[in-house]
Chain A
Amino acid sequence: DAKTTQPNSMESNEEEPVHLPCNHSTISGTDYIHWYRQLPSQGPEYVIHGLTSNVNNRMASLAIAEDRKSSTLILHRATLRDAAVYYCIRGGSQGNLIFGKGTKLSVKP
């Protein structure tokens, strides 16, 4: 049980921002929120993670709701290379990471 809910698919235009939502309403106080993405024919790769505060790195930004029941991955300027399946995952106290179905992002030129 992934315990996160994401839309099955989303579309974006190249060079526009993309906001990928994730619901994790049963998250516990010590669970981190992780995002990974999987490009076609490749293994998943890390994007970003956080606990309570918003996080930024060179790939993306992670906005976490104040009640932590939802989060949004923000790609500031989508490129064709960002077309992938994006997974939102709860990092539980046991340390395992359970992947759900993810959101398939398509980027149109």
Chain B
Amino acid sequence: DAGVIQSPRHEVTEMGQEVTLRCKPISGHNSLFWYRQTMMRGLELLIYFNNNVPIDDSGMPEDRFSAKMPNASFSTLKIQPSEPRDSAVYFCASRPTGGNNEKLFFGSGTQLSVL
């Protein structure tokens, strides 16, 4: 299995532009997580899906952020409009089910720089 696949690996954009980050979870996994990592705030959970349904989106910073999971094999995290403070590494992770006794598999992350 190729693992969790994220794209792009790096994204540089200008303030005000729309940014879309993509994630393909491991085949057969039913839970998907989006995390954001910065030096100041560490690794923050943004949103968590189970069976394509958002279960916990309390970590989504504001209305500029939105996440979708149209099917079991694809998710997007969109920022519109982007701001310099959104610069971070964004990780996607998946898990076989929604159970709290299973391990997460992380992607390699997307390094986002907003100028």
Contact = CB atoms under 8 A, between A and B. Distances in A.
A96 B56 contact: yes
Interface residues of B, number: 24
A52 to B, nearest CB: 12
Contacts of A93: 100
A80 B33 CA distance: 30
Which DSSP category, helix, strand, loop or mixed, fits chain A's interface?
loop
A34 interface: yes
B100 A32 contact: yes
A92 to B, nearest CB: 6
Contacts of A92: 100
Given A51-B101, A95-B99, A87 B43 contact: yes
A36 B43 CA distance: 12
B45 A97 contact: yes
B108 A42 contact: yes
Contacts of B55: 94-96
B45 A94 contact: no
Contacts of A98: 45
A34 B103 contact: yes
Given A32-B101, A95-B99, A43 B107 contact: yes
A82 interface: no
Contact of A49 (B35, B43, B48, B101): B101
Contact of A97 (B33, B50, B107): B33
Interface of A: 30-32, 34, 36, 38, 42-46, 49, 51, 87, 91-102
Q: Name the 4 nearest CB pairs between A and B, nearest first.
A: A91-B100, A43-B106, A46-B103, A99-B43
